[in-house]
A and B are shown apart, each in its own frame.
Chain A
């Protein structure tokens, strides 16, 4: 199908069934799922007509999980087993979690893999598993509403998420049994939701302040292409922090000591959040807080008091705004529209200060809670192949520079922040000792010049370097970032060909084997189901390959192939079709591999022809 698009961009493909796809906004506070139905993208409600699913999971002693509203309702009674704001822990190590300090009312335990686990009545759980439990509920909701299994989903992440946080999110999707078509940056998703409504052109800024993360993205819209020029943010700043500031203030006012228990802290945070929300419309709100001795403290919070409490937090968001503009070589005056995203942008003071900064009233017409999921649904629909004619294209960037540790604990940047993805960049390094046969590579992400102030992503070793004098070996290190913003690093010694590569998995992440075994565990009927699932997946992939090759051959097989080549491809195609009719997953896999090998030269020719076609009509003279 994709092959057909290359050769015939203007013609519609053969009608095929509508593939079910969804966009998921996996938020710190709330999560949503949306889908495109009859051409309209909208969030999907649960049976009680509620769209938002609180991102809260309660683990019970019998192993059962309660997700969403029911978990939220008991969070204060059962704080240790009720996990909220888990997004803040995604891709984070034990050290980071300690840095978040006593602000999170859970019992953490370090695991062998370095990934923190949370002790609950149902056993120890990792942040990835908690997220997967939330995703499973959204998946069920979507499959029930849409009436079938999802072909694929787009899951959104804060633009400022680093590689470890992205990888953890993708792992959660896999663990929930989802085919993750793409990780999409939240501000970009919001721009899509707004952009399609308005068919606008020009430069826009998306200000996204969620429960626990802040992003600012600057995008240029041009004929359906959304080109992200720059992005900046803070992956640990959001509405949660406002709640804490308010709770702190209540504690001071009511004389509640710092060693209040978990349940009391949870109640305070809940009251603080309710007061903040009430002050979106009201000028003042009454507070009544139960103290440990059973008595009550009563007080009042005014809008102006709230403003002074949250001002420092909002001002903290302006520095990334300036940086994003500077990186895009723009000034506030160049921005045509400012789009507000995230529940925290309902706070009037946020709108006021952001409006002041950009010198224009921000756009708030789409529900700031839903806009990200809606944008993700639109992209999921396209990626699933339901709209082959759609002109929309998203060009995103990496938010933080990627580099390698060099001598003296310094960082050599290989890919600069705000580089458009996908990107591949290589750099050569050399040995510093005579006879050195191995080299340790330490991959880091961040803007600072020293290793300690950057985030460590992975360490790996290149072995088998032939002994040479110092400085003679040529080691080529290649960084490749895919369209999800995920990094792969490969190293090769140029004279000997010694090679080593790593799909960058954070040191405290999950290995592929762990995910596989968790998936196995999570499917109660074990082996049979796993086999059935594998067969189904292989059949889908096999059909996909068949559809692509048949469409391609029909379009230009005669033009681009010699008779003998054509014969070999036809034979391999037929073999795959037969394998797909059978029930042997391995045989299908092997047949796919054979067909892909046989047709590789043909595919390369078609790509080239596609590019030539895109350039057809342009002559070199145009540019002189």
Chain B
């Protein structure tokens, strides 16, 4: 097996495997690495090298996607530390959180009935965004503490963030639909 395929995303970028990542530096290194690996650099190279370059560039793109997104990065870090996410069965039983989810979902479903739906969905998106930001900060704190307890809590936070991401996606789609409707058929 070629050595590069066993590298972690962090190793590929020569970054320490921590939650805090300098976004600017990450992007700069990404561009530098793409300059070396991108298939365009191998357009007139023999077939096999072109394939190799494509695989490397794909791995680099994947690593960049994961590392620049706090949620994907947290999930990846937890997996590196041995946690297995089982998406089919991962749920949270925290009643307070479930209640909040239900309320937000209802609010989203009722947006169209409000006086100014576009403004209303904007408010909800801000609310969701603020919650995501708070959970990202919380993750920073949890990964800073090096205990089994903190790791368990980080797993829970990741699961919650996934719920909020789905909500955010739904809100975005709704906003897009509302804006399109304003333009008429």
Q: Which residues of A contact B (CB under 8 A)?
A: 1-3, 5-6, 9, 19, 151-152, 181-182, 222-223, 225, 227, 312, 315-316, 318-319, 322-323, 326, 379, 382-385, 391, 393-395, 419-425, 480, 482-483, 541, 544-545, 548, 592, 596, 600, 603-604, 607-608, 610-611, 613-615, 618-620, 622-624
Contact = CB atoms under 8 A, between A and B. Distances in A.
Nearest to A388: B41
Interface stretch (B21-29, B73-81, B94-102, B104-112): B21-29
A618 B14 CA distance: 8
B61 interface: yes
Nearest to B64: A420
B34 A225 contact: yes
A445 to B, nearest CB: 18
Given A326-B172, A541-B46, A319 B14 contact: no
Q: Which of A182, A393, A483, A619 has the most CB of B within 10 A?
A: A483
Contacts of A622: 25
Interface string B115-131: 00000000000000000
B44 A384 contact: yes
Contact of B29 (A181, A316, A603, A618): A618
A623 B40 contact: no
Given A2-B41, A315-B184, A482-B54, A596 B46 contact: yes
Question: How many B residues touch the partner, as a band?
Answer: 35 or more
Interface in B118-166: none
A608 B22 contact: no
Contacts of B35: 9, 225, 391, 393, 614
Contacts of A3: 45, 49
Contacts of B176: 319, 322-323, 326
A615 B14 contact: yes
25 contacts: A181-B43, A181-B44, A227-B31, A319-B180, A322-B180, A326-B172, A382-B40, A382-B43, A383-B43, A384-B44, A385-B44, A419-B61, A420-B65, A421-B61, A422-B39, A480-B58, A600-B48, A610-B36, A611-B37, A611-B56, A614-B33, A615-B32, A619-B14, A620-B15, A623-B15
Listed residue (A152, A384, A607) with the most chain B CB atoms within 10 angstroms of its CB:
A607
A393 to B, nearest CB: 6
A623 B21 CA distance: 7
A262 B76 CA distance: 61
A421 B53 CA distance: 12
Given A6-B36, A422-B39, A604-B2, 17 more contacts: A182-B43, A222-B31, A223-B31, A318-B183, A319-B180, A322-B179, A322-B180, A385-B43, A420-B61, A424-B58, A483-B54, A603-B48, A608-B4, A614-B36, A615-B14, A618-B29, A623-B15
B82 interface: no
Contact of B3 (A19, A480, A608, A610): A608
State the 4 A-B residue pairs at the shortest beta-carbon distance, nearest first.
A2-B45, A383-B43, A424-B58, A385-B44
Nearest to A542: B46
Contact of B52 (A384, A541, A607): A607
B39 A483 contact: yes
A548 B45 contact: yes
A395 B38 contact: yes
Nearest to A318: B183
Contacts of A319: 176, 179-180, 183
Contact of A483 (B25, B33, B40): B40
Contacts of A385: 43-44
A193 to B, nearest CB: 17
The binding surface of chain B is classed by DSSP as helix
Contacts of B175: 326
Interface string B164-179: 0000000010011001
Nearest to A154: B43
A409 B53 CA distance: 36
A358 to B, nearest CB: 15
A608 B2 CA distance: 9
Contacts of B39: 422, 482-483
Contact of A422 (B46, B48, B58): B58
A187 B12 CA distance: 31
A564 B64 CA distance: 39
Contact of A603 (B22, B49, B54, B57): B49
Contacts of B57: 422, 483
Contacts of B36: 6, 9, 610-611, 613-614
Contacts of A425: 62
Nearest to A384: B44
A624 B52 CA distance: 32
B40 A383 contact: yes
B41 A5 contact: yes
B43 A623 contact: no
A610 B34 CA distance: 11
Nearest to A151: B44
Contacts of B12: 611
B56 A424 contact: no
B183 to A, nearest CB: 5
A385 B44 CA distance: 6
Contacts of A608: 2-4
Contacts of B64: 420
Contacts of A592: 46
B115 to A, nearest CB: 22
A424 B46 contact: no
Contacts of B33: 611, 614-615
Taking each of A152, A222, A319, A592, which has the highest tally of chain B beta carbons within 10 Å of its own beta carbon? A319
B79 to A, nearest CB: 14
A600 B51 CA distance: 12
Contacts of B65: 419-420
A616 to B, nearest CB: 9
Contacts of A421: 61
B169 to A, nearest CB: 10
B102 to A, nearest CB: 22
A553 B12 CA distance: 26
Contacts of B15: 620, 623
A326 B177 CA distance: 12
By CB atoms of chain A within 10 A, which of B13, B16, B49, B62 has the most? B49
A623 B42 CA distance: 31
Nearest to A386: B44
A395 to B, nearest CB: 6
Contacts of A326: 172, 175-176
Contacts of A318: 183
Contacts of A596: 46, 48
A424 B49 contact: no
A483 B39 CA distance: 7
Nearest to B1: A604
Contacts of B53: 2
Given A395-B38, A608-B3, A422 B31 contact: no
A620 B16 contact: yes
Contacts of B56: 607, 611
